[in-house]
Structure 1
Amino acid sequence: MSIYWDEGAMRNAGVIPTILAIGDSWFWYPFPGGSLTSYLAPLVDTKEHVILAKGMNGAEAFDYVEGKYKRSVNDALRLYGSSLSAAFISGGGNDFAGLNDMRPLLNLDCTDAQSAEECFRSGDSGLSGFLLRMDQHYRTLIGRIYTHTSLDCKIVMHSYDYTNPDGRGVFGSDGWLKPALVAANVPEALRQDCVRYLIDAFHDMLAAITPGDPNHLLLVDSRGTLGPKDWANELHPKGTGFRKIVNRCWKPVLEDAGLA
């Protein structure tokens, strides 16, 4: 087995991880078809790597550095840091998904908006402030990884993809994006554009981090990879979608880094 979501099972198997995957539901998605890590594991297994996953469904970037997964992540880095060839990070999606998270990023009433940009608030309480907080969370986590790992350790981040805010949740629940867009009176014709604008802004934030150490900080750009039929709901691809992102976007980056 090349991936463990349960650290106890990994220890019982007598193996030590060489990749730490710190992530949200894109690493932990529990439904049939699997998650991103389900397809990353056999890819890195070709180089005899073992992945240990930390985080959980619903995890936010804040949780890895100051929240409920801080201790778990720090302990894993302390215990296994010297053996790690890479750390994969998936965080930020849950920070802007959901009525309570996305609604504050949008203006009070977007009825007359002519573009996606006009729908988003600026300032500390708007999109720019959100991106600044994401930048700080990522840089804090990267710094902690640096202090526990060797100079050869790669840190791989990713930028999700352009989902369709159609209101599809899990088990018939409301989605994570459409309710906020509806509450802000975003015209239906602009809702997809708003998602693209948000994902692009998030990607640009990550892209501004990597030049600080381009040999070790790697960014997988998976935007525009999936079509409407590749999504299980508003936030998660189907298994075939995750596999498509791994094969088209992650594989070239990991091969170039010698991890696959």
Structure 2
Amino acid sequence: MAAYWDEASMQRAHATPSILGIGDSWFWYPFPGGSLISYLGPLVDKKEHTVLVCGMNGAEAFDYVDGKYKNLITGALRRYGRSLSAVFISGGGNDFAGFNDMRPLLNLDCSNAQRAADCFRNGDGGLGRFLESMDQYYRRLIGLIYTLTSLDCLIVMHSYDYAIPDGRGVMRGKGWLKPALVDAGVPEPLQSDCVRYLIDAFHAMLTDIASTDPSHLLIVDSRGTLAERDWANELHPKGAGFRKIVRERWKPVLESENLA
């Protein structure tokens, strides 16, 4: 087995991780079809890598450095860091998904907006401050990884994809994006544009971080990979969608670094 979501199971199998996955539901999605790791595991297994995944569904970037998964992640890095070839990070999506996270990023009334940029707040509590927070959490996590791994350990981040704000949640639940957009009065034709604008801004933030150490910090740009039929709900692809992202976007990056 190339990937483990439980350290005890990995230890019972007498395996040691060479890749640590720190992630949210894009690494942990529990429904049929699995997650990115379900397809990354077999891919890196060709190079005899084993992946141990930390985090959980719903994890936010804050949780990795100051919250509920801080000790878990720090412990795993201390135990295995010197033998790691890479660390995969999936974080940030839950920080803007959900009414209480998305709504504060939007203006009070967007009904007269002509473009997506007009819908986002500036200043305290707005999109700029949100991206500053994401930047800080990522840089702190990367600093921790630098400290506890070898000099040649790679750090691979990804930018999700352009989710479709159609109101679909998990198990007939509410979506994470559309309720906030509707409450803000964002015109229907602009709602998808707003999500694209947000994902593009997030990707730009990751690109800025990666530019500080391009030899070790890698970005998988998965934007624009999925068609509407590839999404299971507002935030998660179907299994075939995750597989598509791994095949088309992750595989070339990992092959270029001899990880797959």
State the match for 1:98 in structure 2: 98
1:53 is paired with a residue of what secondary structure? strand
Shift of 1:123: 1.3
Cα distance in 1 for partners of 2:128, 2:145 equals 26
Shift of 1:207: 0.3
State the match for 1:246 in structure 2: 246
1:6 aligns with 2:40: no
1:119 aligns with 2:123: no
State the match for 2:145 in structure 1: 145
Count the aligned residue pairs: 260
State the match for 1:181 in structure 2: 181
> 1:18-53, CA deviations, whole angstroms, 9 ceiling, x for partnerless residues?
000000000000000010000000000000000000
2:173 is paired with a residue of what secondary structure? coil
Please tell me the residue identity of whatever aligns with 1:149.
T
Consecutive aligned runs of 4 or more in structure 1 exceeding 3 Å deviation: none
> 1:142-169, CA deviations, whole angstroms, 9 ceiling, x for partnerless residues?
0000001111100000000001100000
Cα distance in 2 for partners of 1:27, 1:214 equals 24
1:160 is paired with a residue of what secondary structure? coil
1:196 aligns with 2:196: yes
State the match for 2:232 in structure 1: 232
Cα distance in 1 for partners of 2:122, 2:49 equals 43
Cα distance in 2 for partners of 1:124, 1:202 equals 18
1:42 aligns with 2:35: no
Please tell me the residue identity of whatever aligns with 2:125.
S
Shift of 1:124: 2.6
Cα RMSD (Å): 0.4
State the match for 2:128 in structure 1: 128
Shift of 1:12: 1.0
1:217 aligns with 2:217: yes
State the match for 1:207 in structure 2: 207
Structure 2 unaligned blocks of 5 or more: none
Cα distance in 2 for partners of 1:217, 1:185 equals 38
Cα distance in 2 for partners of 1:146, 1:100 equals 33
> How many percent of aligned residue pairs carry the same amino acid?
72
Q: TM-score, normalised by structure 2?
A: 0.99
State the match for 2:51 in structure 1: 51
